[in-house]
């Protein structure tokens, strides 16, 4: 793994910007595929394709709402297929279905593609920049605690992203979480569970908005966990580069040899 002194790196392992750290890393194609199935866009966000991932999540919420996918899912799992059929909006389901399948397929393909490029980037071993001061933000590649990242995103999706310095994604997730909580009425329903009983509580809930929440919550937890793990491995990778570069010219054992001669010499004398 020697770094060559070509003027332009062919493949970079990672870059740092005020938006966060963007990196190539080995990722499991099936896990990425699953997250796209759970929520279109999440797979791409996990692959660090943040712009398209974010736009896909917007697509998902809008198309799902127009086509009534979540409501139909609730009826289907509840064994009322007839109700589900009535609820689905034929104007939108074709487009939704194709879009949904595409994001799943594309995530799988992209993961395999990035895994190859990651391997090549590691072998190329281009020096990583790990410290960024800009006028409005500070971003430093540091060791992170994956459990802390997961914990904060579990308490409030987005906080784990902020902990990992993925600034705008964290704020985006926070905004959506407040929105989901408000429109699913999940907190009033929890309160009603104790005060008025289960039937009243269930009546308060909006199935459509509630059904987004498990994917968003666990998606945020998983993203913050995975990014913390990946930042840690990138931190080691970068520090290894640094140490190799800075302490390459060690004379510790060169001195040893000289000293050996000295002792040998003194033995003769």
Contacting residues toward another protein, per CB under 8 A: 26, 28, 31, 34-35, 38, 73-74, 76-80, 115-116, 118-119, 142-143, 150, 186, 189-190, 193, 198-199, 201-202, 205, 207, 210-211, 214-215, 218-219, 221-222, 225-226, 229, 235-236, 239-240, 242-244, 246-247, 249-252, 255-256, 259, 262, 266
The dihedrals phi and psi of 104, each to the nearest 5 degrees, come to -65, -50
Q: How far apart are CA 121 and CA 176, in angstroms?
A: 35
Q: How far apart are CA 1 and CA 88, in angstroms?
A: 56
Closest CB 102 distance from another protein, rounded Å: 20
Which is nearer to another protein, 49 or 125 (by Cβ)? Answer: 125
Closest CB 123 distance from another protein, rounded Å: 9
The token duo for 155 is 């308490």
Q: How far apart are CA 101 and CA 96, in angstroms?
A: 9
Closest CB 39 distance from another protein, rounded Å: 9
Closest CB 7 distance from another protein, rounded Å: 27
Q: How far apart are CA 234 and CA 226, in angstroms?
A: 12
Which is nearer to another protein, 25 or 49 (by Cβ)? Answer: 25
- Residue 169's SS3 state is helix
Q: How far apart are CA 209 and CA 195, in angstroms?
A: 23
Query: At which residue do the structure tokens 């870059």 appear?
Result: 15
Which is nearer to another protein, 10 or 51 (by Cβ)? Answer: 10
Cα separations in angstroms, 82 against 77, 87, 269: 12, 9, 104
Which is nearer to another protein, 6 or 250 (by Cβ)? Answer: 250
Q: Report the DSSP beta bridge partners of residue 76.
A: none
Which is nearer to another protein, 172 or 235 (by Cβ)? Answer: 235
Q: How far apart are CA 107 and CA 172, in angstroms?
A: 21
The token duo for 175 is 């905004």
Closest CB 22 distance from another protein, rounded Å: 20
Which is nearer to another protein, 77 or 94 (by Cβ)? Answer: 77
The token duo for 63 is 């198309």
Which is nearer to another protein, 3 or 202 (by Cβ)? Answer: 202
Nearest CA among 69, 68, 61 for reference residue 40: 61
Closest CB 254 distance from another protein, rounded Å: 8
Closest CB 200 distance from another protein, rounded Å: 10
Cα separations in angstroms, 255 against 245, 249, 252, 262: 20, 12, 5, 10
The token duo for 185 is 């009425």
Closest CB 122 distance from another protein, rounded Å: 8
Which is nearer to another protein, 95 or 214 (by Cβ)? Answer: 214
């Amino acid at each position: 793994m020697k770094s060559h002194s070509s003027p332009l790196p062919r493949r970079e392992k990672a870059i740092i910007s005020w938006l966060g750290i963007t990196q190539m890393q080995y990722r499991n194609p099936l896990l990425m595929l699953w997250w796209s199935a759970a929520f279109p866009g999440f797979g791409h966000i996990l692959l660090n394709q943040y712009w398209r991932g974010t736009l896909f999540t917007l697509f998902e919420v809008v198309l799902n709402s127009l086509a009534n996918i979540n409501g139909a899912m609730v009826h289907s799992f509840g064994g009322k297929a007839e109700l589900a059929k009535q609820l689905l909006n034929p104007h939108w389901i074709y487009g939704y279905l194709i879009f949904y399948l595409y994001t799943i397929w594309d995530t799988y393909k992209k993961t395999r593609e990035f895994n190859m490029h990651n391997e090549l980037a590691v072998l190329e071993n281009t020096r990583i920049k790990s410290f960024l001061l800009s006028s409005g933000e500070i971003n430093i590649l540091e060791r992170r605690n994956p459990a802390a990242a997961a914990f904060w995103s579990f308490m409030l999706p987005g906080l784990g992203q902020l902990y990992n310095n993925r600034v705008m994604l964290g704020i985006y997730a926070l905004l959506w979480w407040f929105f989901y909580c408000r429109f699913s009425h999940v907190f009033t329903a929890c309160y009603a569970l104790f005060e008025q009983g289960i039937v009243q509580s269930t009546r308060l809930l909006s199935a459509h908005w509630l059904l987004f929440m498990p994917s968003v919550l666990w998606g945020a937890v998983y993203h913050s966990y995975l990014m913390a793990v990946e930042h840690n491995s990138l931190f080691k990778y970068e520090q290894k580069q640094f140490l190799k570069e800075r302490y390459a010219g060690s004379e510790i054992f060169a001195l040893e040899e000289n000293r050996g001669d000295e002792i040998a010499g003194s033995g003769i004398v």
